[in-house]
Amino acid sequence: MPVNHYDYNDNTQLSPHFNAREFRCQCGQPHETLIASELVDKLETLYTALNCSKIIVTSGYRCPEHDKAVGGTSSGQHTKGTAADVCCYGQDGQPISSKTVCCKAQDLGFGGIANITSSYQYTHLDVRTGYRWLGDETKGNGTVTEDFYKYFGIKKTTETTSILKGIDVSYCQNKIDWDTAKASGLVDFAILQAGYGRETSQVDTQFERNYAACKRLGIPCGAYWFSYAMSADEAKREAQVFLQTIKGKSFEYPVYMDLELAKQFALGKATCSAIVDAFLSVLEQSGYYAGLYCSTYYLDNYLSDSIKSRYTVWCAQYASKCTYQNPYGIWQYNVAGNEEYDIIGQKSIPGIVGECDMDYCYTDYPSIIKAAGLNGFAKSETTTPENTKKDTSDIEKDTSDNDTLKQILQHVSSIDKKLQNSTTNQIDKL
């Protein structure tokens, strides 16, 4: 199998969710990193199959010396670039049990699979050839099972993670027949334009009607505000009008800033990023799950990495495949009637006359938002499982650092912090 060689500090993006630096040896010595392309491909498949928010590679390639130092044989799968120890996180920000990971990895055809900690948070995966190895290292390295479903007592189902189909609409679609649209099976969710600009008079004329219909029919919805802001101060003013428009309403999906004017991007990356942060920070301070709508090109070239990792992304790209390499929750992939990139063969949305933007969603936003008590919902009374705390008692020395863990929970936790400080850091009033 192809095994690629990378310099120690090489940060090449290997796939949508993994880069070369994640797999480098943790011995601290600046030697090359070996990574099998099949390993990355299978990890990417696992990411989708489990609907992960993040997969942390706690140990990828190991030089022979480091492999031996952490209890290996100095010639195992890690030394060949064909193995990775991982911790998988769900959309709720919590670790996915390695029992589940092992079962799914088995379905996906990994050559070697093992649970490696008593907390069932960390999993060894490899793409060895010639034979298969399944194990539970907490029971002894020699423990091999024929089937993880049987071993862990998990019922195997044929269910797969679904990708939700949605639409985003505004006054441009006039009066939508929402009953017909829902009955079509093409509208699992909807993102509604609430308005645009900095004045209360610029509320979308169909927003109230569209929102009421979604609530009546049980269509989960979010909202967006079309921005004309040319400065951070103007962005704050827009966000405040947006808040006034959606006050008293609840949204199962994020509330977005719509950034797409050429004159805004002409201001440069630093200014654009400051505008976005100003707008979305105001929303977060008021208890909303805030996100950014933007095209792939401008995301790649005109917004800082901190913005793209800080806020959830709704990515626009009319194509047969989304090429955006950073995480995104929703992909606006086409407009109904555009046959060039018509993935599902849908020339129109029943109940809507004319064009309508079409979207795929890959993230369980309703669960995340309701559990956190955002977007007008009361916070769920849930108890954090004891095993969510990282157990390092019987794991090898290769573990993720705190910075990586913080990155996963950065979005929701930052909202909590801003809400706690809201009494001392008030947003500007109208």
Q: What is the CATH number of the domain that holds 250?
A: 3.20.20.80
Question: Given a cut of 50, is residue 425 above it in pLDDT?
Answer: no
Query: Are residues 227 and 321 located together in one domain of the fold?
Result: yes
CB distance 401 to 409 below 8 Å: no
Residue 422 lies in a domain: no
Mean of the pLDDT values across residues 75-88? 94
Residue 427 lies in a domain: no
Residue 44 lies in a domain: yes
Long-range Cβ contact pairs of 72-81 (< 8 A, separation 24 or more): 77/112, 77/126, 77/128, 78/126, 79/34, 80/3, 80/34, 80/36, 81/3, 81/4, 81/23, 81/33, 81/34, 81/35, 81/36, 81/39
Query: Are residues 178 and 151 located together in one domain of the fold?
Result: no
Q: Residue 341: what pLDDT?
A: 40
Cα separation, 21 vs 138, in Å, equals 28
Mean of the pLDDT values across residues 304-312? 89
Question: Given a cut of 90, is residue 150 above it in pLDDT?
Answer: no
Among 120-124, 181-185, 424-428, which stretch is predicted with the lowest mean pLDDT?
424-428
Q: What angle do CA 188, 193, 199 make, to 5 degrees?
A: 160
Task: Please indicate whether residue 71 or residue 18 has the higher confidence score (pLDDT).
Answer: 18
Question: Given a cut of 60, is residue 194 above it in pLDDT?
Answer: yes
Q: Residue 83: what pLDDT?
A: 95
pLDDT digits (tens, 9 = 90+) for 325-377: 888 899 998 876 554 444 444 557 899 988 899 999 988 899 889 988 999 99
Residue matched to tokens 């990155």: 407
Residue 383 lies in a domain: no
Query: Are residues 134 and 176 located together in one domain of the fold?
Result: no
Q: Using pLDDT thresholds of 50, 70 and 90, give the confidence band for residue 387.
A: very low
Query: Are residues 9 and 75 located together in one domain of the fold?
Result: yes
Query: Are residues 113 and 242 located together in one domain of the fold?
Result: no
Q: Residue 406: what pLDDT?
A: 38
Mean of the pLDDT values across residues 196-207? 93
Residue 380 lies in a domain: no
Question: Given a cut of 50, is residue 16 above it in pLDDT?
Answer: yes
Q: What is the number of structural domains in the chain?
A: 2
Q: Using pLDDT thresholds of 50, 70 and 90, give the confidence band for residue 162.
A: low
Task: Please indicate whether residue 50 or residue 387 has the higher confidence score (pLDDT).
Answer: 50
Query: Are residues 145 and 186 located together in one domain of the fold?
Result: no
Query: Are residues 186 and 89 located together in one domain of the fold?
Result: no
Domain region containing 178? 164-372
Residue 425 lies in a domain: no
Query: Are residues 311 and 356 located together in one domain of the fold?
Result: yes
Query: Are residues 255 and 328 located together in one domain of the fold?
Result: yes
Question: Given a cut of 60, is residue 175 above it in pLDDT?
Answer: yes
Question: Given a cut of 70, is residue 26 above it in pLDDT?
Answer: yes
Query: Are residues 119 and 60 located together in one domain of the fold?
Result: yes
Task: Please indicate whether residue 226 or residue 379 has the higher confidence score (pLDDT).
Answer: 226
Task: Please indicate whether residue 382 or residue 91 has the higher confidence score (pLDDT).
Answer: 91
Residue 384 lies in a domain: no
Percent of the chain with pLDDT over 90: 55
Find the CATH number of the domain harbouring 81.
Answer: 3.30.1380.10
Query: Are residues 24 and 172 located together in one domain of the fold?
Result: no
Mean of the pLDDT values across residues 24-47? 91
Q: Residue 93: what pLDDT?
A: 82
Rounded to the nearest integer, the mean pLDDT of the chain is 83
Q: Using pLDDT thresholds of 50, 70 and 90, give the confidence band for residue 115.
A: very high
Query: Are residues 182 and 77 located together in one domain of the fold?
Result: no
Residue 430 lies in a domain: no
